[in-house]
Chain A
Amino acid sequence: MILKSHRARREESKRSVSNGRFGFYLALPSILVLLALLAIPAVLTIFQSFFIVPPDGVGIGEFTKVDNYLFLFKNEIFWATSLRSIWFALIFIVGSTVIGMAAALLLNEKFVGRMVLRGLLVLPWACPWLIVGIIWKWFADGNIGLLNGVLMRLNLISEYKDFLSDPSWAIWMTAIAATWRQSCLVALLLLAGLQTMPREIWDAASVDGAGIFQRFRHITLPWLRPALTVVTVLNVIYGLMQFDVIFAMTQGGPGSSTTLLSFLIYRQFFIFTNFGIGSALAVALALIALVGGLIAVKTLYRKIEV
């Protein structure tokens, strides 16, 4: 009741013309900065993807219509790398969401040491992505890594295995490293969502005789849908755009087994200074991310019906 009237009053004051001008002036610095640093660069990147840009990047260069894109579409490396990026992102998205969800559900229960575990969750999240890569590069190292030490003690391997030099393992290890950090962020965000869930709904369902999995499917999951949607969109972006972890762990190798689209873009821009092709790649990656994000929203988001 009170809330409603607040909102009504706020809407009322929002509409007045002189207030509108005042509001515009307050927002103006941010609008200008976002135009200069986001809108214009994004448009320029799209623009450059249709040109052969001179290596110094200044000036328009030669208009090539869609030649840059045709070059990509006819190029096997582009397709292989796109698939690899999507594969990496899938491992990352599924891993982070499942592990994060499990951790959130666990932390929503009451047990001794709960706060300690919650405190630990922020540790990986506080690590910059590049440092996540450094930590995992040496953890998974084939000569001195602790992962090999642990596996050996558990008798799972008899000899040290060099995961990062093995093309089929490298993509998994890098994706797992990235998942290590992201799963903790997912857990924190989903836990925040869980803690706003009224306990009574859950209790009422258990009185009605719903089992734990039924309660998860029909109560917890619908309640978490909005948070889960946002988290998954974030995961799609971070998964497809991942660069730092790869840079630290494998530099795209061995061979090209961990070369993701982000790495190709980096090389086109800053090693071959081929801004036209690089821009076309960046636009392609952004489109893949857009499609991925839309799929996530379509499958996950429903209006909550209570």
Chain B
Amino acid sequence: MIYSAAAVFVVWILFPIWYTLSSSFTKPSEIGARPTPFWPASPTLDNYRLVLGIPTKDQECIPGIDIVNCGAAASNVSVNKLVDTMFNSFIVGAAVVFFTLLISTIAAYSLSRYRFAGSVFFLNFTILSRIVPGLVLVAPIFIFLRVLNLLNTPWALIISYTSFTLPLAIIILKNYFDQISIDLEEAAALDGAGRLQTLKLVILPVAVPGLIATGVLVFLESWSEFFFALVLTDSYTVPALLAGFLSMQTFNWTLLSAATIIAIIPPVLLVMIFQKYIVTALASGTGK
């Protein structure tokens, strides 16, 4: 009973993604077989080679006959873009993580330990802003960025992504700081440490696991974001590039599947490595 239920879930989770994985090892000429096979008949790495811009053995294109290589050759410019775009996504993600953690850590610490005029309002505003959709913000942000001449630059994404990563980070980190005993600060104060010193030397080292979990979540959000990347840039990050591939006639499914698999390797690895931290952080971030 339990095992049949488990089997149903395994099928539900794995089948769609399995098809992408198996297609990425399939020769384009073998893709139409019916009923659609579970495994590629003669597995090949060519899709990955093409998508990563590594030359294949027979890359000469005979127009009208060798549709596969001609198609790939015709779209080679954008094919090689995958590696560059992955790099862009990493840079944007790293910058968003850096700026978000830099200002959210001190704000979250403040919300956990101090009270000032409007601090309760600020906390509620932050929680509420987690559910304000990007669709409501996108037009003014788009116009700001155009006036500042920042459209089509990484800054467009770094700035706009901070609008949704910052509230997330503040809420998660505030919950994390709440769990750190105030004894630490009192002991530090007795030793004559200033408030800023205490934060830097006593609290931050204890908060490292929380900072890592938050950083990973922020990076994932940045890596996954598509809408802002679509409207603020010209296919600058991976999801936007893949969306562009979708509409290209010359770009076939086997190539796209290889690109898709490559694109989800970084987030999948991150999630697998940090799974325990992330789920705890997410549960605490949404649970309050």
Contacts and interface: CB of A to CB of B under 8 A. Distances in A.
Interface of A: 6, 9-10, 13-15, 19-24, 26-27, 29-31, 33-34, 37-42, 44-45, 48, 56-58, 99, 102-103, 106, 109, 111, 113, 117, 119-131, 134-139, 141, 143-150, 152-153, 160, 177, 180, 184-185, 188-189, 192-193, 226-227, 230-231, 233-234, 237, 241, 243-244, 247-248, 262, 265-266, 269-270, 275, 278-279, 282-283, 285-286, 289, 293
Nearest to B107: A30
Interface string B36-51: 1110000000000000
24 contacts: A9-B186, A13-B113, A24-B119, A26-B110, A27-B119, A30-B170, A38-B167, A39-B125, A41-B139, A42-B137, A120-B9, A120-B10, A121-B13, A127-B267, A128-B263, A128-B267, A129-B226, A131-B242, A143-B32, A189-B287, A230-B286, A233-B131, A248-B243, A278-B139
B76 interface: no
B38 A23 contact: no
B165 to A, nearest CB: 10
A121 B141 CA distance: 35
Contacts, number: 304
Contacts of A57: 139, 142-143, 146
Given A120-B10, A138-B257, A248-B243, A40 B36 contact: no
Given A34-B167, A230-B287, A127 B264 contact: yes
Interface of B: 2-3, 5-6, 9-10, 12-20, 22-23, 31-32, 34-38, 102-104, 106-107, 109-111, 113-117, 119, 122, 125-126, 129, 131-144, 146-147, 159-160, 162-163, 166-167, 170, 181-183, 185-186, 195, 220, 223-227, 230-231, 238-239, 242-243, 246, 253, 256-257, 260, 263-264, 267-268, 270-272, 275, 279-280, 282-283, 286-287
B139 A282 contact: yes
A13 B181 CA distance: 13
A26 B256 CA distance: 46
A289 B133 contact: yes
B113 A29 contact: no
A168 to B, nearest CB: 21
B69 to A, nearest CB: 20
B19 A138 contact: yes
Contacts of A141: 253
A27 B227 contact: no
Contacts of B220: 126
Residue from A9, A37, A230 with most neighbouring chain B CB atoms (10 Å): A37
Contacts of A266: 135, 227, 231
B140 A41 contact: yes
A120 to B, nearest CB: 5
B275 A262 contact: no
A128 B260 CA distance: 10
A30 B104 contact: yes
A151 to B, nearest CB: 9
Given A128-B239, A131-B263, A241-B133, A136 B16 contact: yes
Nearest to B18: A146
Given A27-B111, A34-B163, A120-B10, 16 more contacts: A10-B113, A13-B114, A19-B195, A20-B115, A23-B116, A24-B110, A57-B143, A126-B267, A143-B32, A144-B32, A147-B15, A180-B13, A188-B283, A192-B279, A226-B287, A285-B133
Contacts of A146: 15-16, 18-19, 22, 36, 38
Residue from A56, A57, A231, A278 with most neighbouring chain B CB atoms (10 Å): A57
Nearest to A118: B275
Nearest to A37: B163
A113 B6 contact: yes
Nearest to A149: B36
Contacts of A262: 135
A178 B109 CA distance: 35
Given A26-B110, A128-B223, A34 B268 contact: no
Contacts of B6: 106, 111, 113, 117
B16 A282 contact: no
Contacts of A120: 9-10, 13-14
Contact of A6 (B17, B131, B170, B183): B183
B125 to A, nearest CB: 7
Contacts of A226: 287
Q: Considering the complex of A and B, which 9 residue pairs feature the smallest CB-CB distances, nearest first?
A: A23-B114, A149-B36, A128-B224, A30-B107, A26-B110, A37-B163, A41-B140, A192-B283, A146-B19
Contact of A126 (B114, B264, B287): B264
A86 to B, nearest CB: 15
